[in-house]
Structure 1
Amino acid sequence: MTADVAPAYFSDEFAPVPDEVEALDLEVTGRLPDELAGRYLRNGPNPLPGTDPGHNFLGQGMLHGVRLVDGRAKWYRNRWVHTPLMDGVRPDHTDRLSALTCTTSNTSVLHHAGKILSLVENGLPWEVTADLDTVGPVDFGGKLRTAMTAHPKVDPLTGDLYLFGVGLRPPFLTFHHVTAAGDLVRSTEITVPGPTMMHDFAITRNHVVWLDLPVVFDPDLRTRPGMPFRWSDEYGARIGIMPRDGRDADVKWIDVEPGYAFHVANAKETTPGRIVVEGVRYTPSTFDRIWTGLGGEPSRSLAMTGSGANLYRWTLDVATGTVSEGAVDDLDIEFPTINDNRTGLTSDLVYAVTAPLLVDENNKPAIIKYDTANDTRDQWLLDPSWLPGEAEFVPAAGATREDDGWLLSITTHKSADAAALVVLAADNVSAGPVATVHLPRRVPLGFHGNWIQD
């Protein structure tokens, strides 16, 4: 790799930082809410100096953390997740433990059963400390024998954790249930036609929702650098509905229009037998545009129809096996989030940000709030030279409304060595930040974060 031919994931807002740093007593503009006492941690790929993983998704995981307490920003620090890959160990795919631990751990952060976990979908979670030091892999006492999704779901009523693992060899999909205390109590295999890039799923009060979509593993790409997945016009697209305590035979599959979703916002049961799922859906051509921009291989024979990465709604009638579907809005967005206290339950509000690779004069950098009950949106437009990261919702103390709380987002300057953590009032997004924490260095655009309250 040379500077004049650097791929997009090494350029501008995606460019990795070369080291780990720490800064104390950060400058704050505005006023931080006193009730924000905890840590905001965000994960993302950050290739080691001198390395090129071949795709944006394959850089070694780096956590960026900001400590807030007493209306102050006490520290910022960034740390790589020190998996064996950091020491040059390559996964041995004939050995299960080696394959599941030699990962990048670069996608998201979970706080569950007293542990902070760094996640990536092709391996085990890695425990880290509150100061971002790496502890080691977690396999739930040897019971987790598959990879773990980077998007597990916590039931807000019980604290139980639901997750899945994908594989390139059978079983292609396995469902797991972990108690609030951290005990893995059930694993069940789910039949799908082949290995796909299943990145997210959803739960409702009584069901699990599967997204079996046409971005598939291509064995011809295994010998090349990068991600061995691409769009397939042949695979088909469907959504599966399974009772939470169900098995493979209980899944009801419903065909949907071809498209791909990296991320679900939420799913809910509106009436008996009817489930509404909302997420960010890519048309085939927009997926190919994003995928190649990240370093992926283009489709072999893409049906070039439509454009957009939009908030999208599937309304599924489980009894009849039918679906009503369509875009909620025409903005190109990504990283949908909700008030996690509403996961799987009735909710009307979705937060999102402008899709980074689709920013243009018609799709300006913004943090967006959707009211899906009324199909309206509120948004804060950033200065065009800044890009927002995922906006994490943090409930206010004693919250009574769904939007009673704050949105936290790390924003990144497109070219300057600058970044900030912004705090917005979720009930008035268009008013802009109530506080801005000025970070001591640029933070590359990354993936998913989590607020861990003291």
Structure 2
Amino acid sequence: MLKIINEEKITISPDNDNPFLQGLFKPNAREYDADTDTLEVIGTIPNDLWGVYARNTHNQVHEPIGIYHPFDGDGMIHSAYFCDGKMQYRNRFVHTTGFLAEKAAGRALWPGVLEPERFSYRGWGAMGAMKDNAGTDVIYHNGSLLVTMSQGSEPWRMDPVTLENLGPDPVLAKAVGYAGIAGEFKVDYRTNEMVFQNYPEEPPSINVGTVDSNGNLASYRSIKFDFPRWPHDLGMTENYLIVHDLPLYFDPDLRKQGQRKLQFYPDKPSRFGVFSRSDQRSDIQWFEAKSCFILHTANYYEEGDEIIMDGCVSFEPQGPGVGEHSENPYERIMAHLDKHRTKTRLYRWRFNLKNGTTIEGFIDQEICEFPVCRNDCKGYPYRYIYASLFEAGTWNMNGIKKFDLQTGVHTRYEYGEGRYGGEVHFAPRINSQFEDDGYLIVFIQDLVLDRSEAAIFDAQALANGPLCQIILPERIQSGTHACWVEGERLKRTYPI
């Protein structure tokens, strides 16, 4: 089977010189259904691999209003469903209100993250000026994929295998309004409870919510601030939630004048608020740490009187350039994206709930980002982190590194010249016996051969390279977050 289900009309001008609309970032117009009866398979798909790997991409359709940032594009989900040694591939645009409005108009209606002041229509997210592109995060909860953008979008639902657009979750959409659900939400696979946040400018706050296993909003707490914050990640352990108050935010004085200029304040500490997961009315215990910015964390868990937080830290972050105007905005964007320039590395914080102290330090010195762990370890003690390696001077993810937190012996694999991946995820084997007993899944873009593939690695033998590569119908765009959905967690069976 190989079918083109739909093709959108890309209206981006051929004269547009934005490098984030070309090459690895070139948008896809076609939506496919395909399977391994027609796709080329190099190697053998393991018979004990069962589930769905889904990855989000910012896939711009229309000529942008103003300067395009690679996080502005329309959300498109790419999925690979594995069962009985076969694979089905699908990709679909996320039918947000913004996407459908621009489709009807035949042009862009909202500006991007760099120039929110150019908006004409009420938007979504923290600034309330952007299109809800739902192009950042994707995770599985309560029987479907939940897809959002980083600043906060309506809770868009999609079928995990067919990628049918199911619309906004009616319960959550009413609860969160335009502030939406930001990226980096977490699911406790032992209780099937989901935690999320948003951070609207009006009123300035970080709102934290929990959703029970049936999809009902269980709690929704607002943490007030004197001016808007710009966090990214959110933490969850068995008994606690952790919010990030980091010194990267809009200049407070300029914001009072209606201007947004995102700045890093190295003289101010980072703060982390810890409070009860079961009783969100409880007091927040704040911990201070070195001034930094954190995009993504791998995991949080409890150890005696301490909460352990592992993630990728930057002590020299570069903002994306919101509110800044320069002669070469593309250089400014790349400075923000280049992990070698921001020196992003794996780090550990220990928050002592008894005496209020913080102990922190590096786990490793190699540049990496997008750290993940096995799904059923989220919020609990664990041993392995899998993160993406980065090519210097670019946003391109050129390999995988596996961190063994117990032995300190780390292994790695680089994809090869002109080959770049996205966020990698761990997929346990059927009847998996050990934490790393399974596979690593990633979509790889090959610029040399102008194609993409779904690559499968043995998690216990990463350095040996892929066990299998399934060539996709066309080269797909660079993306951000992905997720793995175990077969037994799917609500119903999808035979191939």
| Class of the TM-score when normalised by the shorter of the 2 chains | 0.7 to 0.9
Q: Output one character per residue of 1:399-451: Cα deviation in whole Å (capped at 9) or x when no partner.
A: 22111111100111245521111111111211111111111211111011122
> Is 1:327 the counterpart of 2:362 in the alignment?
yes
Q: Is the 8 A contact 2:312 2:345 kept in 1?
A: yes
SS at match of 1:13: helix
Residues 124 and 139 in structure 1, CA contact (< 8 A), matched pair in contact too: no
- Paired with 2:131 and 2:321, the residues of 1 have a C-alpha distance of 27
Aligned to 1:80: 93
**Residue 165 of structure 1, CA deviation:** 1.7
2:334/2:394 contact within 8 Å kept: no
Residue 413 of structure 2 aligns with which residue?
Answer: 380
| CA distance in structure 2 between the partners assigned to 1:162 and 1:95 by the alignment | 20
Residue 112 (1) aligns with residue 145 (2): no
1-structure distance, mates of 2:448, 2:21? 12
- Aligned equivalent of 2:244, options 191, 211, 214: 211
CA distance in 2, matches of 1:59, 1:374: 41
For the 8 Å contact 2:204–2:229, the answer to whether it is kept is no
Where 1:23 maps in the other structure, the secondary structure is strand
3-state SS of paired residue (2:403): strand
Residue 351 of structure 1 contacts residue 367 of structure 1 at CA under 8 Å; is this kept in 2? yes
Could you tell me which of 324, 335, 350 is aligned with 2:385?
350
Change (3 A) 1:381 1:298: closer
Q: Secondary structure at the match of 2:224?
A: coil
Q: 1:406 to 1:193 in 2, by over 3 A?
A: farther
Paired residue for 2:436? 403
Pair 1:51 & 2:64 matched = yes
The Cα of 1:371 is off from its aligned counterpart by: 0.8
Q: Aligned with 1:331: secondary structure?
A: strand
Matched, 1:239 2:272: yes
Secondary structure at the residue paired with 1:444?
coil
Does structure 1 residue 315 correspond to structure 2 residue 350?
A: yes
Counterpart contact for 2:28–2:476, Cα < 8 Å: yes
Q: Does 1:60 find its partner at 2:74?
A: yes
The match for 2:153 among 95, 119, 123 is: 123
2:298–2:373 contact (8 Å) kept in structure 1: yes
Q: 1:204 to 1:100 in 2, by over 3 A?
A: farther
Task: Give the Å deviation of 1:104.
Answer: 0.3
Amino acid across the alignment from 2:377 = R
CA contact (8 A) 1:408 1:422 kept: yes
Could you tell which deviates more after superposition, 333-342 or 119-128? Answer: 119-128
* Structure 2 counterpart of 1:409, one-letter code: V
Q: Secondary structure at the match of 1:335?
A: strand
TM-score by structure 2 length? 0.80
Distance 1:171 1:442, change over 3 A: same
**Residues 7 and 295, structure 1, Cα contact 8 Å, conserved in 2:** no
CA contact (8 A) 2:49 2:430 kept: no
Give the Cα–Cα distance (whole angstroms) in 2 for the partners of residues 94 and 108 of structure 1. Answer: 19
Cα 1:293–1:341 change in 2 (3 A) is farther
Give, in angstroms, the shift of residue 67 of structure 1. 2.9
Instruction: Note the 1:256-271 alignment, pairs <5 A.
Output: 256-271=289-304
Match of 2:32 among 15, 21, 35: 21
CA displacement at 1:298 relative to structure 2: 8.1
> What CA distance in whole angstroms lies between the structure 2 residues aligned with 1:185 and 1:9?
40
Aligned residues of 2:192 and 2:213 also touching (Cα < 8 A): yes
1:12 matched to 2:23? yes
Instruction: Show the counterpart of 1:303.
Output: none
Query: Where does 1:143-162 land on structure 2 (aligned, <5 Å)?
Result: 143-145=175-177, 146-162=179-195
| Unmatched 5+ stretches in structure 1 | 300-305
Distance change in 2, residues 1:355/1:45 (3 Å): same
In the TM superposition, 1:298-313 aligns within 5 A as 308-313=343-348
Tell me if the contact between 1:37 and 1:68 (Cα under 8 Å) persists in the aligned partners: yes
Q: Deviations over 1:226-251 (max 9, x none)?
A: x9644344654112211213446611
Q: How many residues align?
A: 441
Name the CA shift for 1:375/1:221 in 2 (closer, same or farther; >3 Å).
farther
| Residues 75-123 of structure 1: CA deviation (Å, up to 9, x unaligned) | x232211212222265854999xx6995000112222111222122322
The answer (yes or no) to whether the contact 1:191–1:248 under 8 Å persists in 2 is no
Q: Tell me the distance in 1 between the aligned counterparts of 2:58 and 2:469.
A: 24
Give the letter aligned to residue 126 of structure 1.
Answer: W
Mapped to 1, the partners of 2:140 and 2:425 lie a distance apart of 14
The Cα shift of 1:296 comes to 4.6
Task: Tell me which amino acid in the other structure corresponds to 2:63.
Answer: G
Provide the C-alpha distance between the structure 2 equivalents of 1:194 and 1:213, rounded to a whole number of angstroms: 13
1:272-313 deviation digits (Å, cap 9, x = unpaired): x211110011122x53599976865989xxxxxx95110111
Number of the residue aligned with 1:366: 399
SS at match of 1:328: strand
Q: Residues 274-293 of structure 1 correspond to what in structure 2 (within 5 A)? A: 274-284=306-316, 286-288=317-319
Which residue among 167, 170, 173 is the counterpart of 2:206? 173
C-alpha distance in 2 between matches for 1:166 and 1:430 = 40
Q: Counterpart amino acid of 1:117?
A: L
Residue 267 to residue 289, structure 1, CA distance change in 2 (3 Å): same
For residues 91 and 376 of structure 2, the distance between their equivalents in structure 1, rounded to whole angstroms, comes to 28
**1:132 aligned residue:** 163
Contact kept? 1:20, 1:79, Cα under 8 Å: yes
For 2:194 and 2:202, how far apart are their aligned partners in 1? 25
The residue that corresponds to 2:371 in the other structure is: 336
Query: Residue 103 of structure 1 aligns to a residue in which SS?
Result: coil
Conserved 8 A contact 1:221-1:229: no
**Equivalent residues of 1:217, 1:228 under 8 A apart:** yes
**Distance verdict in 2 for CA 1:228–1:437, change over 3 Å:** farther
Separation in 2, partners of 1:307, 1:401: 35
CA 1:133–1:222: 2 relative to 1, 3 Å: farther
Tell me, what secondary structure is at the counterpart of 1:402?
coil
Where 1:433 maps in the other structure, the secondary structure is: coil
